[in-house]
Chains A and B, each alone.
Chain A
Amino acid sequence: MNLAVFVKHVPDAAEADLRIGPDGRSVRAEDLPFQMNEWDRFALEEAARLKEATGGSLTAFLIGPGEHEDSLRRCLAVGADRAVRVWDESFPTLGPAAVARALAAAVGEERFDLYLCGAQAADDGYAVVGPTLAVLLGVPWAALVCRLELQDGRIVCDRELEAGWFERVELALPALVTVQTGINEPRYVSILGIRKARSKPLEVRGLADLGVDPDEIGRLGALTRLEALEPPPPGREAEMLEGSPAEVARKAVAVLREKGGVL
Chain B
Amino acid sequence: MSVWVIAEHRNGELREVTGELVAVARALGAGPVTAVVLGGPGETEAPAAGLPAGIDRVVRVEHESLAGFNGVAVAAALERVAARERPAVVLGAHSAAGMDWASALAAGLGAPVATDVLSLHRDDGGFLAVRTVYAGKLQARVRLAQAPTVVVTLRPGATEAAAGSAEVPAETEAAEVPAEVGRRFVEWIQEAAGEVDITQADVLVSVGRGIGDPEDLDVARDLAEALGATLSCSRPVVDLGWLPKERQVGISGKTVKPKVYIALGISGAFQHVTAMKDAGLILAVNKDPKAPIFRVSHYGIVGDLFKVVPELTKAVREAKG
Contacts and interface: CB of A to CB of B under 8 A. Distances in A.
A262 B227 CA distance: 8
B144 interface: yes
Interface in A202-237: 222-237
Interface in B188-213: 188-191, 202-203, 209
B147 interface: yes
B300 interface: yes
Chain B CB count within 10 A is highest, among A100, A131, A263, for: A131
Interface stretch (B25-33, B43-51, B167-175, B252-260): B252-260
B135 A122 contact: yes
A167 B183 contact: no
B303 A143 contact: no
A182 B252 CA distance: 12
A249 B312 contact: yes
Interface size class of A (residues with CB under 8 A): 35 or more
B260 A128 contact: no
B183 to A, nearest CB: 4
A189 to B, nearest CB: 16
Interface stretch (A54-62, A154-162, A191-199): A154-162
A20 B139 CA distance: 11
A188 B190 CA distance: 32
Contact of A224 (B95, B114, B191): B114
Contacts of B179: none
A131 B238 CA distance: 26
B259 A261 contact: yes
Nearest to A162: B251
Interface string A222-263: 111111111111111111111001101110110111011111
A223 B299 contact: no
B191 A125 contact: no
Interface in A141-187: 141-144, 156, 158-172, 175, 178, 181-182, 185
A139 interface: yes
Interface string B284-321: 10011010101111111111000110111011100110
A178 B96 CA distance: 11
A142 B183 contact: yes
Interface residues of B, number: 101
Given A132-B106, A253-B319, A241 B116 contact: no
B35 interface: no
Given A18-B290, A231-B139, A27 B283 contact: no
A259 B298 contact: yes
B108 interface: yes
A232 B103 contact: no
**Interface SS of A by simple majority:** mixed
B96 A18 contact: no
B232 interface: no
A119 interface: yes
Nearest to B187: A168
A88 B115 CA distance: 26
Interface in B87-121: 94-97, 99-104, 106-108, 111-116
Contacts of A97: 106-107, 112-113
B267 A14 contact: yes
A138 to B, nearest CB: 9
B128 A227 contact: yes
A165 B288 CA distance: 33
Contact of B189 (A135, A166, A233, A239): A166
Contacts of A120: 99
Interface in B262-288: 267, 280-284, 287-288
A143 B181 CA distance: 15
Nearest to B191: A164
B138 A238 contact: no
B141 to A, nearest CB: 4
Nearest to B189: A166
A178 B142 CA distance: 24
A182 B239 contact: yes
Contact of A169 (B10, B70, B251, B292): B70
Interface string B29-72: 00000000000000000000000000000000000000010111
A217 B293 CA distance: 37
Contacts of B296: 235-236
Given A15-B287, A228-B141, 13 more contacts: A13-B137, A14-B135, A18-B134, A120-B99, A126-B103, A128-B115, A135-B108, A164-B252, A171-B182, A241-B300, A245-B308, A259-B281, A261-B280
29 contacts: A14-B135, A17-B290, A18-B290, A125-B131, A131-B104, A132-B107, A141-B100, A162-B95, A165-B188, A166-B188, A167-B189, A182-B235, A223-B144, A224-B142, A224-B143, A224-B145, A227-B128, A231-B138, A232-B132, A232-B138, A232-B295, A239-B300, A241-B300, A245-B310, A245-B311, A248-B311, A253-B315, A256-B260, A262-B259
Interface of B: 10-11, 68, 70-72, 75, 94-97, 99-104, 106-108, 111-116, 128, 131-145, 147, 181-191, 202-203, 209, 227-228, 235-236, 238-239, 241, 251-255, 259-260, 267, 280-284, 287-288, 290, 292, 294-303, 307-308, 310-312, 314-316, 319-320
The 6 closest A-B pairs by CB, nearest first: A235-B295, A140-B182, A182-B239, A249-B311, A238-B300, A164-B191
